[in-house]
Amino acid sequence: MKLTILAVGRMKSGPTLDSIKEYQRRMETPLAIREVECKKALDGPQKMAEEGHLLMDALPEGARLVAMDEHGKNLGSREFAALIQNEQDNGCRDLVFVIGGADGLSEDIRKRAFTTLSFGKLTWPHMLARLMLAEQLYRAQQILKGHPYHRD
């Protein structure tokens, strides 16, 4: 199964990007990072809708979509690992985690997702959310392998 983080905005060089690349390097399952960027001078709902179109266009055909949103379910790491294992056991070939822009995810993306997850009620910068997601994907891999990286 291929894992992808699909996000609005472009990462700049620096420690956050370096850390994401380190988790990608450690992963046994390929972890792709795909980025889209709205270059039109839009604001609010119009910008969110345009970003939604860009995200939808970037989805691999047949991919299972997880929306990352502040109003989503707040899972523990073992529950998150179980979600990934369940998708793999059910024959999922592409599992895509979508992180929206500053205004959030469009309704089209929310409807397309089979589930919505949250990093909690705190607000996180979008670039840091990518790093946190990359780490949790690596952690899930280690949990599923029975590796002691994750400690309860």
Q: Could you report the per-residue pLDDT of 110-135, keeping only the tens digit for each? A: 999 999 999 998 888 888 999 999 99
pTM here is 0.94
Residue 25, token pair as written in the block? 């390097």
Backbone phi, then psi, for 147, in 5-degree steps? -75, 145
Question: What was the pLDDT predicted at 40?
Answer: 81
By CB atoms closer than 10 A (0-12, 13-18, 19+), residue 21 is middle
Question: What was the pLDDT predicted at 123?
Answer: 85
Q: Tell me the residue type at 147.
A: H
**For the chain, domain boundaries:** 2-145
Question: What was the pLDDT predicted at 122?
Answer: 86
Distance CA 30, CA 28 (A): 6
Question: What was the pLDDT predicted at 45?
Answer: 85
Ranges in the chain, pLDDT < 70: none
Other CB atoms closer than 10 Å to residue 140's CB: what's the count?
22
- Domain 2-145: give its CATH code: 3.40.1280.10
Distance CA 118, CA 99 (A): 10
Question: What was the pLDDT predicted at 44?
Answer: 81
